[in-house]
Structure 1
């Protein structure tokens, strides 16, 4: 008999097809009364499959007394109630590393775009502005200081790319990374004061909420550029808007926002802001790798009792 798995929401067509082929899948998002469904069928489930966008809270976890594994499609797992899951003896996996390169590519792209005005110049040319004038001087990227908030797989991938631009790199994390050639800065504000670019590459969740606050933006300064490819919750969005409007921050390249898909209208009105739709991992290659890994994690758990990439 196939193992019974609760799938909280759709993942991708290939992942959904493989899960449905190999497991007895129950699609929670299709149930008209989720609470009633969980109350009736919860004890039958042995595991959970969840997309990073969907919440997996205590209401779901407590209704599944025999589930012992959660496989998460995504790197971030801030929408999973980790404390409750661990109290109930559940293993949690995510899909790390397979996204590192693509997310780091986009971080560098945002840094270059904001500094050199690529998006705004594209709009300028399309509107016919080049026929009557030229864009103002912008800022170079090579040779500048790159500060990284978070120095896991993605942060380290950004650092490698920054080295190709002859940039100096320092990072702020909970503790120094052993063996790293880059300097660890214990103070985030001091890192921002040193940096020309500050890239947010840390996990989301309560522990990092609004870590990038008004003080940090003030330290980054009127020529500093903030790049966020992590989670919108890490940046105090209201403080960001004020800092940009008042010229206390030079610019921002944002792939994530506090209340996605809602973006503050004020940010969209500013030429020094590049706003994307949370696409850092949206490449064909990384998507296929994520689909493979989320299914491999579930397979490994039922084969060996351990997921491949525990959080």
Structure 2
């Protein structure tokens, strides 16, 4: 009987069911969610030294202590663009390969970012609720929204996602500004080294940078107040990029115009105060996922696993050096 290499599945990722269906003849996917055992018992029962690869979603945190349970681990594959849920220092120390989604999800995330911005500024979801719940009869008195064209939009993080957002917003006639770790010589958009200055000069901010020690709460009360009462913010990065308590306070007190949020600081918890606000559009951390992207992601994950177990270079390595 052929023995397939073990892949520990944690999360599990959104694409897991499809991936399992396509690749179950090549890999032995072991999923703790399919067992009544505790996670620790499940891992022990599956002989940790025999597990050489882990597949995880952004919802599962791979700490150094957890990674040390697997002495033969050689590959971590994550289905997210971000890697803040993985202890990269431990992976670097042990020379564990890390494979991410690369730029595969950038277009879908950018589409969602623009959709959230339009929805929030033009009050589309709020208008839908208004029509569905109001008592019919009488004149409509729905409040005005804001036009998108011509607005100054500051992008925080001009990586692959940020560039796709910029490209889409340019077609709406928006003026693009940005903040990034480094100024990019290849683009002509005005660069701001200060987030506060970027917010001061923007009508809206789109947050799509990575979450790390340097960017945690990069959007704080000072930034939000600089954005102003008619300013809007969209976050398709990670919830921890924004000081969520300050965001809630500013929204309730009318210090900013509105927010479109696909991510939250303590997922899956969403602050109750946000649920009652008509100037907020909420989304369950799904910007990256469409029918098309899930299938492409399955092929990429499968390809990375095949390459690793065939002693070939993985397809989308994260450079840890």
Q: TM-score, normalised by structure 1?
A: 0.94
- Aligned equivalents of 2:42, 2:135: Cα separation in 1: 59
CA displacement at 1:36 relative to structure 2: 4.5
- Aligned equivalents of 1:306, 1:82: Cα separation in 2: 19
Match of 1:34 in 2: 39
In structure 1, stretches of 5+ residues that fail to align are: none
Whether the 8 Å contact between 2:58 and 2:78 is mirrored in structure 1 is yes
CA displacement at 1:177 relative to structure 2: 2.3
What SS does the corresponding residue of 2:310 show, helix, strand or coil? Answer: helix
CA displacement at 1:16 relative to structure 2: 2.0
Match of 2:131 in 1: 125
Whether the 8 Å contact between 2:20 and 2:29 is mirrored in structure 1 is no
CA displacement at 1:69 relative to structure 2: 0.9
- Aligned equivalents of 1:21, 1:92: Cα separation in 2: 23
Query: How many residues matched?
Result: 311
- Aligned equivalents of 2:90, 2:214: Cα separation in 1: 17
Match of 1:68 in 2: 74
What SS does the corresponding residue of 1:170 show, helix, strand or coil? Answer: strand
Query: Are the structure 2 counterparts of residues 16 and 53 from structure 1 closer, same or farther at C-alpha, using a change threshold of 3 Å?
Result: farther
More helix by share: 1
> 153, 159, 184: which one pairs with 1:146?
153
- Aligned equivalents of 2:312, 2:71: Cα separation in 1: 17
> 3, 8, 11: which one pairs with 2:10?
8
- Aligned equivalents of 1:231, 1:15: Cα separation in 2: 25
What SS does the corresponding residue of 2:154 show, helix, strand or coil? Answer: strand
Match of 1:95 in 2: 101
- Please tell me whether residue 287 in structure 1 is matched to residue 294 in structure 2: yes
Moved more, 181-190 or 32-41: 32-41
Q: TM-score, normalised by structure 2?
A: 0.91
Match of 2:116 in 1: 110
| Structure 2 counterparts to residues 190-209 of structure 1, below 5 A | 190-209=197-216
Moved more, 132-141 or 196-205: 132-141
Whether the 8 Å contact between 2:11 and 2:58 is mirrored in structure 1 is no
Moved more, 158-167 or 129-138: 129-138
- Aligned equivalents of 1:192, 1:63: Cα separation in 2: 44
Query: Are the structure 2 counterparts of residues 274 and 25 from structure 1 closer, same or farther at C-alpha, using a change threshold of 3 Å?
Result: closer
What SS does the corresponding residue of 1:47 show, helix, strand or coil? Answer: strand
List per-residue Cα deviations over 1:113-167 (Å, max 9, x = no partner).
1111111111111223674332122211001001001111110000000100111
Whether the 8 Å contact between 1:124 and 1:130 is mirrored in structure 2 is no
- Aligned equivalents of 2:265, 2:220: Cα separation in 1: 13
